[in-house]
Structure 1
Amino acid sequence: MHRRTFVAGSLTAAVAAAAPSTAAARTVGMTDVERLRSKFASLIASDHRHGGKRGIEQRAASLADEALNLQNSGSATQRVRSNLYATAASFRSSAMWAAIDGRRYHDAIGHMREAQALAELSGDQAIKFRIWSHAGTLYRHMGRPADALAANDVARNLYITRRDPLFASLGIARQMAIQGVAQDRRGLSRTFDQARDAMGRAEPSAPRPVWLLAFYDEAELHSLALSAYLAVGDWPTAEYHAHRCLAALRPHMRRSRAISTSRLAHAQLAQGQADAATRTAMSVPTDAATQHARVSRMLQEFSAALRATAPGSTSVSIWTEHTAAWRTPA
């Protein structure tokens, strides 16, 4: 992982960017931080609607720079400066996530290194957790389970996971997804139970960052289980978790619904349910099917699998006609 190397390199750049300007005349305060946080909340909402878009990535990176520029714009207390670094790290981690979601992994690694440097400057445990947990997800999608587990372990070993069981639950749940990629099927059920138990111990009213409250709940727990069981080829259990996920998803989680629906179609098809799988895949909204990199990839793989397992069937004809409409100009 070479954590010290890439954090130290980015740390130098971040410190330089944040060096105080001799021309500064104003005082930077928590009002400025709160203004940026409101933009962060808006960015999170956009991500859950659209996900993976390069525009979201660029907007997040720009807002990270805006937060750093405030460090140069005037005097500030140490508390304010720490919060500005944490906010900049939050934006940069959102840029990282958008790049992961769009399968732009090289870009994601660059954002990760900047985010890690800023998080170290901030001392904020919650944002450190987010970044290292995202790093685990990045390496999982890249097919590097050993690195994924190492990164996720950094997140899981932070003090915040002992203070708040909801953070612990998310760390365990993402470990479960990594176990799937590593083909560790024997430990999946136990890990799921541990994540669910930690979630049950979490105090509902405890103060938590907006990024965590916006997505981590029972639906996401089942989504990560769905990913894990698909990876090990346990199709019936994957289908079970898919239905549980879709039933619990909040309305704003449009990207998550498209991903889980696509995964459900795969699980059904692998069990020989070509007709049901085709109906499921057809329920994915066109914008997600054609514009979201992860969803598009999954549906392309579904199309190939459908033609291989049910050649010449009515399901293939229906699916072919359905996907042809995606390529037809309006």
Structure 2
Amino acid sequence: MNPTRNEALVAWMDEHGHSSNSLAEAVNRALEQLTGRTGGLDGSSVRDWKAGRVQWPKSATRRALEAVSGLPATALGFVPRGRASSTQAALQEDPDMKRRTLVGGLAAAAAAAAAPGNAGRRRIGMNDVNRLQQRFAEVVASDHRYGGQRGIEQHAAALADEALNLQNAGSATQRVRNSLYGCAASFRSSAMWAAIDGRRYADAKAHMREAQALAEMSGDQAIKFRIWSHAGAMYRHIGRPGEAFAANDVARSLHITRRDPMFASLGLARQAAIHGVAHDRTGTCRALDQAQDALQRMDSEAHRPVWLLAFYDQAELNSLALSAFLALGDYATAESHAHRCLATLRPHMRRSHAITTTRLAHAQLAQGDLESAATTAMHVPGDAATEHARVSRMLQEFGAALRARAPRSSIAQTWTEHTRDAWKVST
């Protein structure tokens, strides 16, 4: 039988502008970060994936590819050994068709099971959970590309409701029911983060309360960590460090932070950012040192949730350090962390790239380097500048600070023209 072309991988590569050689290089870099050994992939390796000649890469390669893409291997069209060919065909469907089929199918199944005379006829199993988890991976990927969009928030909230509808769609084991609550909590936590990122804090708090209740019913330590850690970030963004510390402490007190240094590192890195808002330099530096130590101790072979693998690494630690030192007013150190972050950010982290670039511009401006600051700020993509609430707000503040420093300068005039002309095209 001829191999089936991996259309899902091809589509992802086209969307992200990857050639076979560039993807091989990106995965090799991720392999080196994960294993300490340089990867040996080349363009022909990726062409084998695209052609379907390799349907399930080796485990370390899969983890590296998942780290680069922010998606599980199955969402990229790879098929575990022994899985039926019909499953592969399902994975090769058009992504929009898969989304409509899954959401519509879940709703139809729930309605059919709830209809008179049909109660209990359907058996809900881990296949249903796995389909939801694949949708969650796609929500996470959308967030890293676009961030803060109301559409992402609404889509994630709708999928949380679909997961809950399955609880009433038929019979299931307790393990499956707990997993469904975990899926619902995951989706609701993504809705919460999209609202935070879009500065819709009242909506974020409503999502948070529901997510916390669902997480308790699931018993899932990882999703509990995500929700409470997000709560800490929310209160940090709105300038309430006391509540931010309290929420982040709940996340850091969970057993999972003692079992897995990667969770511990993220909790400490976010703690450092909160110390920055609280103007505690000693606490910031101590927490960052501890976060770095924990990140270096983590086991790259450990199984972790897709949301964590999709974003937390050395680049994100530097991003949080950048945020902390900006808040402390140590602009030279902030700039250093910004450059280190940008040098290692993975390609799918478009939202993070825009935020880091904007923060770098602020750090340069605060040091009096107006020309470099304006040039940096003008590198923020127009869609992020106009559509992402946090980036838009920071760029507005940047423009105001630039005009206050040099109101009649050519640099301020250039910035004004850029925001009028370049951003107008994106709106």
Q: TM-score range by the shorter chain?
A: over 0.9
Aligned length: 312
Report the 3-state secondary structure (helix = DSSP H, G, I; strand = E; otherwise coil) of the residue aligned with 1:251.
coil
Larger Rg: 2
The partner residue of 2:196 within 100, 106, 129 is: 100
Instruction: Kindly report which structure 2 residues correspond to 1:36-75, keeping only aligned pairs within 5 A, or say none.
Output: 36-75=132-171
Distance, in Å, in 1 between the alignment partners of 2:276 and 2:426 is: 40
The partner residue of 2:339 within 239, 243, 261 is: 243
Q: Check conservation: 2:314, 2:341, Cα contact below 8 A.
A: yes
Give 1:328 deviation, angstroms: 5.7
User: Residue 328 and residue 41 in structure 1: after superposition, are their counterparts in 2 closer, same or farther (change >3 A)?
Assistant: closer
- Structure 2 runs not aligned, ≥5 long: 1-112
What residue is the counterpart of 1:201 in the other structure? 297
Matched, 1:321 2:417: yes
Report the 3-state secondary structure (helix = DSSP H, G, I; strand = E; otherwise coil) of the residue aligned with 2:274.
helix
State, as a whole percentage, how many aligned pairs show the same letter: 72
Report the 3-state secondary structure (helix = DSSP H, G, I; strand = E; otherwise coil) of the residue aligned with 2:210.
helix
User: Residue 113 and residue 269 in structure 1: after superposition, are their counterparts in 2 closer, same or farther (change >3 A)?
Assistant: same
The partner residue of 1:153 within 249, 262, 282 is: 249
Matched, 1:310 2:406: yes
Give 1:79 deviation, angstroms: 0.4
Matched, 1:111 2:207: yes
Give 1:327 deviation, angstroms: 2.9
Report the 3-state secondary structure (helix = DSSP H, G, I; strand = E; otherwise coil) of the residue aligned with 2:119.
coil
What residue is the counterpart of 2:330 in the other structure? 234
The partner residue of 1:254 within 320, 338, 350 is: 350
Give 1:106 deviation, angstroms: 0.1
Q: Check conservation: 2:382, 2:426, Cα contact below 8 A.
A: no
What residue is the counterpart of 2:283 in the other structure? 187
What residue is the counterpart of 1:135 in the other structure? 231
TM-score, normalised to structure 1, is 0.93
Give 1:298 deviation, angstroms: 0.2
Report the 3-state secondary structure (helix = DSSP H, G, I; strand = E; otherwise coil) of the residue aligned with 2:164.
helix
Instruction: Letter of the 1:245 partner, please give it.
Output: C
Distance, in Å, in 2 between the alignment partners of 1:199 and 1:256 is: 19
Give 1:329 deviation, angstroms: 8.2
Distance, in Å, in 1 between the alignment partners of 2:403 and 2:197 is: 27
Matched, 1:88 2:184: yes
Instruction: Letter of the 1:278 partner, please give it.
Output: A
- Structure 1 runs not aligned, ≥5 long: 1-19
Give 1:310 deviation, angstroms: 1.5
1:192-227: CA deviation from partner (whole Å, max 9, x where unpaired) = 111000000000110000000000000000000000
Structure number with greater CO (CA < 8 Å, separation at least 6) is 1
TM-score, normalised to structure 2, is 0.72
1:8-51: CA deviation from partner (whole Å, max 9, x where unpaired) = xxxxxxxxxxxx96823100000000000010001110000000
What residue is the counterpart of 1:25 in the other structure? 121
Report the 3-state secondary structure (helix = DSSP H, G, I; strand = E; otherwise coil) of the residue aligned with 2:357.
helix
Distance, in Å, in 1 between the alignment partners of 2:340 and 2:410 is: 29
Q: Check conservation: 2:264, 2:291, Cα contact below 8 A.
A: yes
